[in-house]
Amino acid sequence: MQSKIVLTVLAGLVLLGGLVIGLPNGNPDKWLSDFEHLKSELAGGYANLEWAAEHNQLDLAKLASETEAKLAKASSERQARSIIKDFIASFNDPHLRAEKSDPPVNGPYSEEEWVGPSKTASAKQALKVLGYRKASYDFGIDFDKMDGFKRVASEDNPFPTAILPMKDGRIWGLIRIEYFGEDRYYAVAEAIWRDFSPKMTTDTCGTECWRDFRHQVRTRLMEYLQESVEALEASGVDAIAMDVTGNGGGTEWVEDVARLLTTKHLRGPSSVFVRHPHWVGPITEEIEALKADLLKSDRSPELNTLLRTSLEDHVVLLKEVMAGCPASSLWETSNARLACERLVQDPHGMNLVSSFEKEEVSSLSSNEVLFTVIRHPEKVGLYDGPLFVIVDGGSASATEQFATLLEMNSAATIVGEKTYGAGCGYTNDGIKVYLENTHLRIFMSDCMRGRADGENELAGIEPQIPGWKKGAKGKSRARQLVETLGRQNY
């Protein structure tokens, strides 16, 4: 019988002539190349780089050196990914994250034309492409276990709404907002798509079509919120508490919600963004809109002055973002100081619409550049009574913006516990970097938003009134919160 010779290769080892020889199964040069690319992108585009380093007491040069040493010894792509993820985690910023990914493809925010769902797509197919997801909605606090709790508003309203009597006879209104992004309100979007798709003028829903659809979803959600407020007022409530516990954030739609809940004009928190080419396109578009508005002859002298001033500011701003302010030296020298300012003030104005004719403002191409958000002008200021916002450690990002916006304008009182601390996330879909050798997609914050006291929201928002004792959960938390609310004078 002829014998068989079997050659076995295990774990990168080859048995040859009685010697065990290690075969290279890693490529540190490529992983180090990815890391150099990452450092360069963070230095140019990560808005919280210096703040996070100072707040978390990070020596960036030391952190970079230690990471490079680990990558040089990494024996696999998987290990290299883990090392880079650990590096990212050192900043303790939930908006700065890394995930394994295939090379990115175009999306609705892409510079290239995005091809969305077809006109004949079912609601299920369309919403999957458009990024809508199903979610359940209920109060984050166990109010339903309290005596007298009673739900109001319609069953299909995605914002649970209820009334709760207090011992002193006052009645509190409760509204739950699970998430501040319209993409989690699947049933609402599903109903709108069925009416929306037959009216599409194109075979596929591209970028502009997607924006129009999103606007219609937001409008319907605002109608539901209006229904909630009106149902509570019809029930004779003495105050309203917004339950945004566990609300992880969302989109700029949060500003519309805040403005619906108060008659006060809300001036936004201090907001800055990083000087980076990411902003060149949007600012250029805003410049063109301002120029177009200035060419029209039916503007009041006051509005023309505002348009000219904003145009001048935007031209300067465009030069600043194009110049940038790379912070590569922070990776090289401990406690390095930059010779330029990496962050610039957000250009979007907070002018009062009431200072001008409403129709004149609404017809401007640059209205959202000059004024506070006016996408839903008919849904502003529907409630003028005492307002409280309930937050906890799961309240983050856009939810922190919601709390800050209302607190700094004395439009609401913040109750509960310290928020998560995510702060400003991404503008214009944010800055994303792909590391081709470790197959990591990096998401980074390109903006920074201040709390009512001016500190970065990334530090979390402290409630004005503690809502419950530390560690309280379930019914105990609800009971303590109700007692806290019952003690409030207004």
Tens of pLDDT, residues 91-144:
999 999 999 998 876 555 444 556 789 999 999 999 999 999 999 899 999 999
- Helix axes 77-89 and 28-45, enclosed angle (nearest 10): 20
Number of domains present in the structure of the chain: 2
% of the chain residues with pLDDT over 70: 90
Domain that holds residue 251: 132-266+373-423+460-490
H/E stretch holding 87 reads helix 77-89
Residue 124, in any domain of the structure: no
The pLDDT-based confidence of 420 (bands split at 50, 70, 90) is very high
The pLDDT value given to residue 27 = 87
Kindly report, residue by residue over 5-26, the tens digit of the pLDDT. Answer: 333 333 333 433 444 443 345 6
Distance CA 214, CA 182 (A): 7
Distance CA 18, CA 142 (A): 70
The pLDDT value given to residue 9 = 35
pTM, 2 dp: 0.87
* Of the residues 45, 80, 100, the one at which a domain ends: 100
H/E stretch holding 49 reads helix 49-55
CA 361 to chain CA mean position, Å: 27
Q: Are residues 138 and 254 in the same domain?
A: yes
Residue 10, in any domain of the structure: no
pLDDT at 483 over 80: yes
Kindly report, residue by residue over 162-180, the tens digit of the pLDDT. Answer: 999 999 999 999 999 999 9
Q: Are residues 216 and 85 in the same domain?
A: no
The pLDDT value given to residue 168 = 94
The pLDDT value given to residue 353 = 67
69 CB contacts (<8 Å, ≥6 apart)?
Answer: none
The pLDDT value given to residue 433 = 92
What value does the mean pLDDT take over residues 418-444?
Answer: 93
Residue 282, in any domain of the structure: no
Kindly report, residue by residue over 282-333, the tens digit of the pLDDT. Answer: 999 999 999 999 998 888 899 999 999 999 999 999 999 998 888 899 999 8
Q: Are residues 33 and 161 in the same domain?
A: no
123 CB contacts (<8 Å, ≥6 apart)?
Answer: 189, 190, 193, 194
319 CB contacts (<8 Å, ≥6 apart)?
Answer: none
The pLDDT-based confidence of 376 (bands split at 50, 70, 90) is low
3-class state of residue 74 by DSSP: coil
Residue 199, in any domain of the structure: yes
Q: Are residues 234 and 158 in the same domain?
A: yes
Q: Are residues 69 and 160 in the same domain?
A: no
Q: Are residues 159 and 34 in the same domain?
A: no
CATH number at residue 32: 1.20.920.70
Q: Are residues 143 and 226 in the same domain?
A: yes
pLDDT at 57 over 50: yes
The pLDDT value given to residue 110 = 47
- Measured CA to CA in angstroms, residue 215 lies from 157, 197, 248, 440, 460 at distances of 18, 14, 21, 32, 30
Cα angle, residue 127 at apex, residues 121 and 128 outer, rounded to 5°: 95
The pLDDT-based confidence of 427 (bands split at 50, 70, 90) is confident
Residue 446, in any domain of the structure: no
The pLDDT value given to residue 363 = 85
Q: Are residues 385 and 238 in the same domain?
A: yes
Distance CA 88, CA 96 (A): 7
Q: If 0-12 CB within 10 Å is exposed, 13-18 middle and 19+ buried, where does residue 236 land?
A: exposed
Check if the beta carbon of residue 488 is closer than 8 Å to that of residue 388.
yes
CATH number at residue 233: 3.90.226.10
Residue 327, in any domain of the structure: no
Distance CA 250, CA 420 (A): 14
Q: Are residues 487 and 415 in the same domain?
A: yes
Alpha helices in 371-486 (DSSP H): 398-408, 474-486
Kindly report, residue by residue over 186-215, the tens digit of the pLDDT. Answer: 999 999 999 999 999 999 998 889 989 999
The pLDDT value given to residue 467 = 98
CA 397 to chain CA mean position, Å: 5
Which residues on adjacent β-strands are paired with residue 243? 176, 390
pLDDT at 453 over 50: yes
Residue 275, in any domain of the structure: no
Q: Are residues 250 and 377 in the same domain?
A: yes
The pLDDT value given to residue 14 = 40
Residue 235, in any domain of the structure: yes
Q: Are residues 95 and 32 in the same domain?
A: yes
Nearest alpha carbon to residue 177 among 414, 479, 407, 391: 391
Check if the beta carbon of residue 172 is closer than 8 Å to that of residue 243.
no
And the tokens for 155? 């069953």
Q: Are residues 51 and 198 in the same domain?
A: no
